[in-house]
Amino acid sequence: MIKIGDMVGRKSYDCDIIFEVIGIDNETAILTGKTVRLIADALIDDLELMNDERLVREEENEDKVIETITNQSVKKNRKRYLTGKILHIDGDGKYMQKCLDLYKKVGLYAVGIEISEKEIPKKILKYVKYLNPDIVIITGHDSFNKRELEDVSNYRNSVYFVEAIQLIRQNFPVINQPIIIAGACQSHFEALVAAGANFASSPNRVNIKSLDPAIIAVKCSSTSITEPVRVNEAIEKTSNKNEGIGGIVTFGTMKTLYY
């Protein structure tokens, strides 16, 4: 019997993604991806429990990503450079902790706050004003219902991400101050960028993984304020590359210390 907390796959999709069951309503389960920022629902009869071997493989893949990013970090130069401060707002606390662990490993200063996607527009501005971050991440879970592509109401949480970005830009209109990285799986990329995001998902309405927004943040934080962030270089290490994340010309946030 499927219950809340189980790790499952959808048989109709050949169990291509591992989900955690976060809610059950009659015969329908509400699902969030174990490593992808996707929220979905499925009939309980369509679900299959995932075995431990598959779960371990997923975790090992994430560990490899963290190792790659850590090995290319600026940690060894931390006494010579002041990297950008990150505010990470996430609708999923487990994903947020993974990202915070990555920031810590590469020697970046970050504050993480878990806020449900619907509540982000109501709360984000007070944190941005108080912490004055160089980089703001607005993420969690999202999905697209495959109807009208341009209608933001056809996306589970994109409308909340858009509203949050607009509130920040009303108070901080300079596009680089702060840098905003927004979106989740299948989010309305164009709407997020139009609202004022520097980087966003998802140009091709594909899934992104838990660490993808953090990978972009690491690149922005460790790029000099005098140099543009190389967009293609930044997204090369994300799960679906330019299909999953895109952006605009943006300068980095790292300051060189002279003493």
Same domain, 200 and 98: yes
Cα→Cα distances 127→8, 162, 196, Å: 35, 17, 18
Write out pLDDT tens, residues 46-66. Answer: 999 988 888 788 777 777 777
Q: What is the pTM of this model?
A: 0.91
The answer as to whether 161 is a domain residue is yes
Query: CA 34, CA 72: separation in Å to the nearest integer?
Result: 25
Q: Is 76 helix (H, G, I), strand (E, B) or coil?
A: helix
| Partners of 254 in beta bridges | 224
Q: What is the pLDDT of residue 98?
A: 94
Residues in the chain: 259
Domain of residue 167, CATH code: 3.40.50.280
User: Average pLDDT for residues 136-146, to the nearest whole number?
Assistant: 97
Q: pLDDT tens-digit profile of 218-243?
A: 999 999 999 999 888 888 889 999 99
Same domain, 153 and 86: yes
Nearest alpha-carbon partner for 17 in 42, 2, 28: 42
Residues 240 and 112 in one domain: yes
Structure tokens at 105: 């490993």
In whole angstroms, give the CA distance from residue 234 to residue 162: 22
* Residue 56 forms part of a structural domain: no
- Is residue 99 domain-resident? yes
The answer to whether residues 199 and 224 belong to one domain is yes
CA angle 154, 156, 158 (to 5 degrees): 85
The answer on pLDDT for 116 being more than 80 is: yes
